[in-house]
């Protein structure tokens, strides 16, 4: 059976911009719930400036509370300082974030595109030398909230630099959810032709209700690794208009209906989503939740 690896980013991308701050202990409870539901991979934290992203404070406390043998855990690092803090926490895989435009890099990490490219490359090289997993987000694929359309060739070029620096995976990130199935087919097809499907992942946002349609295009292109977020929470604080991530339950529901295997127990995942909604003080969840609840209750 076709196997798809889902990396849940709710504890990081999901919570970094939420109005409600969850304590490290609450974030650990969320991560444990995701693992109990069968998630094989979770982005658990970001080692960023607490002034820039207060909701991610306590990243080391989160990592230190985890049983690191239980799953693949990743942390986002924007610079060398973040890398060093991440290393000290014991995490075994880091991800750098390189945006496709000048302005987005400046808004997000206060670096020019050139500087961001070289800092990301250095961190990846260091991670490889230290034996850590090294991943790279190439962000604002499709469109930048400040500069508009981002050419596919830019995303391919930046991904090539990240692979050359030692990235074992490049995550093509539609940070503001501006992709559509036609563009997704073109970009993912191009990336797979250039780098092979096994080294690529897709990170999609559902701003225009097209994340699932775009995910399908990535699947058709051969991609089998996805980021998504339990309950669909999330969005980048520095990208105006960024709405929720593709909800993990919507993606899993699609994959299971298509006969693909994820190892994820949807009933357990829905409990995690309800729990997270309670902690955030509002109702959350992907579009498939009402149907899933009826369906699972009847099963």
Binding mask 13-42 for ligand COA (x = CB under 6 A): ---x--------------------------
Residue number with CB closer to ligand COA (109 or 113) = 109
Residue number with CB closer to ligand COA (101 or 108) = 108
Residue from 39, 48, 155, 162 in contact with ligand COA (CB under 6 A) = 48
Residue 203 and residue 81: Cα distance in Å, rounded?
25
Structure tokens at 41: 């991979």
Question: CB 255 → ligand COA: shortest distance, Å?
Answer: 25
Question: CB 273 → Zn ion: shortest distance, Å?
Answer: 18
Contact window for ligand COA (CB under 6 A) among 105-113, 187-195, 227-235, 247-255: 105-113
DSSP, collapsed to helix, strand or coil, labels residue 91 as coil
Rounded to 10 deg, the angle between the 113-129 and 152-164 helix axes is 30
Size of the residue set binding ligand COA (CB under 6 A)? 19
Residue 147 and residue 184: Cα distance in Å, rounded?
19
Interacting residues of 162 by C-beta distance below 8 A, sequence separation 6+: 96, 98, 120, 121, 124, 136, 138, 170
Question: CB 86 → ligand COA: shortest distance, Å?
Answer: 8
Structure tokens at 179: 């992709």
Residue 295 and residue 291: Cα distance in Å, rounded?
6
Closest CA to 31 of 40, 252, 226: 40
Residue number with CB closer to ligand COA (172 or 255) = 172
Under the binding rule (CB under 5 A), the answer on residue 174 touching Zn ion is: no
Active site residues: 236
| Interface positions with Zn ion (CB under 5 A) | 13
């Amino acid at each position: 059976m076709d196997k798809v690896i889902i990396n849940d980013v709710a504890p990081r991308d999901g919570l970094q911009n939420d109005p409600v701050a969850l304590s490290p202990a609450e974030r650990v409870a969320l991560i444990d719930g995701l693992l109990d539901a069968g998630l094989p991979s979770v982005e658990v934290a970001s080692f960023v400036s607490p002034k820039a992203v207060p909701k991610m404070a306590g990243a080391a406390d989160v990592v230190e509370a985890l049983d690191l043998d239980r799953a693949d855990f990743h942390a986002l690092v924007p610079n060398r300082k973040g890398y060093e803090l991440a290393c000290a926490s014991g995490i075994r895989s880091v991800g750098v974030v390189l945006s496709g435009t000048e302005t987005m890099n400046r808004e997000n990490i206060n670096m020019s595109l050139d500087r961001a490219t070289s800092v990301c490359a250095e961190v990846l090289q260091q991670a490889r030398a230290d034996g850590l997993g090294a991943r790279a987000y190439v962000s604002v694929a499709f469109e930048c909230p400040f500069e508009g359309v981002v050419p596919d060739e830019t995303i391919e070029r930046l991904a090539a630099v990240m692979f050359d620096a030692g990235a074992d995976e490049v995550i093509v990130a539609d940070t503001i959810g501006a992709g559509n199935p036609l563009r997704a087919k073109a970009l993912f097809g191009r990336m797979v032709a250039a780098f092979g499907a096994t080294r690529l992942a897709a990170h999609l946002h559902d701003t225009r209700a097209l994340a699932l349609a775009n995910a399908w295009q990535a699947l058709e292109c051969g991609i089998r690794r996805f980021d998504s977020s339990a309950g669909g929470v999330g969005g980048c604080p520095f990208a105006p208009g960024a709405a929720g991530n593709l909800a993990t339950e919507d993606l899993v529901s699609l994959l299971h209906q298509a006969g693909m295997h994820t190892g994820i127990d949807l009933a357990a995942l829905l409990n995690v989503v309800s729990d997270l909604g309670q902690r955030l003080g509002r109702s959350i969840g992907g579009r498939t939740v009402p149907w899933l609840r009826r369906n699972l209750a009847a099963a």
